[in-house]
Structure 1
């Protein structure tokens, strides 16, 4: 019994050391070759195993099953692309949902073991979400003025939720960006001749809200404070971007106002760098 207990303790220590080495590798605290060397020392099999079946090494050394699996996936994608337009709309919707569920599902499953592959699947699924939606709208001659905003709102909500759950910052940010686009487009229709002061009041409260949420979530939930801070920083200059890109007839001095706000924003970032860098890296 004592010998078996000592063996288990040694295995636990080795696993802790290997996890720490992997953390050094991901954080780039040590060069890749040093991490491989240390892993070889503490790994019983003396090899750095690559669990990703899509890696170049595993494709070179892999069995015929991996190649057949890849061929099947590529063939399925081409078949869906070629015959999607002739499917009845219930089958089109079911096909799109099935592809998205599979991609997002595998992204969630592989999030901890194969992070790069998980991010690739999430990115592909996000592009397909928007692509399938636009394709269905065009195929069925749906009113784009009505259905495109619905698609934008759906994509934004989906990406915000999945980005938060899967801790994918870029996906979460894109979700907020789509909601910002929907928000700006809605107020363009309501107030097409809004003054610069109205635009500042339209966007800046949201900027303050997102920065406050960044501070709040930093103390409670890890991995999302940086996204909210980035959204808040973007909203800081959104009134001027709204005036210059989304509306017409604004004077030239709006460009100088944009440059002034960028300079003020950078000055604030410099003054409070010790605080917001902690939020972003949490």
Structure 2
């Protein structure tokens, strides 16, 4: 069989495996049927095999990328602010764009690029705030809200659950910071009322969407699980003068949450894997 056609078939089999179009054993059988390692070329351009072959294009490409990273790091602070903003946007567009391109070709490269783009989004934002002496009390929450929105959207579009979850985590952090300023002396009961309705909402959305948009069902269940223990984490880490028995409540809630997950395991596992 033509080598190019063989690679296309193998990529399709891997896509069927990730999207669960076929059972795992059928995907293994088809992969073993078509995968001849002595003939199939590694589709990852930066793999050890391709680097060992000494392709001048790959090495020059790597040299160019490393040089560009050092140039941006060294001279970013002396750029005028429009060029700084344009440079940051270009880097982020390249990272997220190639993450989308490689999403069905090479999952690992796609995840690395998405992770790099996410770290750079936050890093460039904090760097610009520091360089231009902007008011951190206003711009940092705005940056957190923007990063959360961007990651929620891209995590959904690129089907990257961890990125989607991090977007909601940043919104939860912003939510905690806002109410920490508004009610610094809130009681543990008030904190429970702040987070538990959101916990119920996210778990309900997980159940509601698992038939329609099943890629986000697991994310929403994870967010709801995190919000279940968020009142105690807020009290212990973000506030002061809370008694030590709050730690005992946290342990009891973790135990109760695990018990509920065990009791309803057949239902929520169906939500996540369907």
Q: How does 1:234-253 map to 2 (within 5 A)?
A: 234-253=226-245
Match of 1:56 in 2: 48
Structure 1 residues 79, 109: closer, same or farther in 2, change over 3 A? Answer: same
- Quick one: distance in 1 between partners of 2:17 and 2:210? 23
Deviation at 1:88, TM superposition (A): 0.5
Match of 1:205 in 2: 197
Match of 1:258 in 2: 250
Query: Is structure 2 residue 177 aligned with structure 1 residue 185?
Result: yes
- Quick one: distance in 1 between partners of 2:268 and 2:70? 46
Structure 1 residues 74, 17: closer, same or farther in 2, change over 3 A? Answer: closer
Match of 2:84 in 1: 92
Deviations 1:49-103 (A, max 9, x none): 3211011111112521111111111100100000000001110000000000011
- Quick one: distance in 1 between partners of 2:46 and 2:75? 27
Match of 1:72 in 2: 64
Match of 2:212 in 1: 220
Match of 2:269 in 1: 277
- Quick one: distance in 1 between partners of 2:85 and 2:135? 18
Match of 2:221 in 1: 229
- Quick one: distance in 1 between partners of 2:253 and 2:70? 48
Deviation at 1:17, TM superposition (A): 8.3
* Rg (Cα) greater in structure: 1
Deviation at 1:272, TM superposition (A): 0.3
Deviations 1:185-208 (A, max 9, x none): 000111111111111110001001
Match of 2:153 in 1: 161
SS at match of 1:231: helix
Match of 1:6 in 2: none
SS at match of 1:193: coil
Query: Is structure 2 residue 162 aligned with structure 1 residue 170?
Result: yes
SS at match of 1:211: helix
Aligned match for 1:143, one of 129, 135, 138: 135
Deviations 1:7-43 (A, max 9, x none): xxxxx9x97788447756999957xxx95x9646436
Match of 2:124 in 1: 132
Match of 2:102 in 1: 110
Structure 1 residues 261, 219: closer, same or farther in 2, change over 3 A? Answer: same
Give the TM-score normalised by the residue count of structure 1: 0.87
Which has the higher mean CA deviation after the structures are superposed, 232-241 or 54-63?
Answer: 54-63
Residue pair 1:21, 1:38 contacting (<8 A) in 2 also = no
| Aligned residues between the structures | 267
Give the TM-score normalised by the residue count of structure 2: 0.89
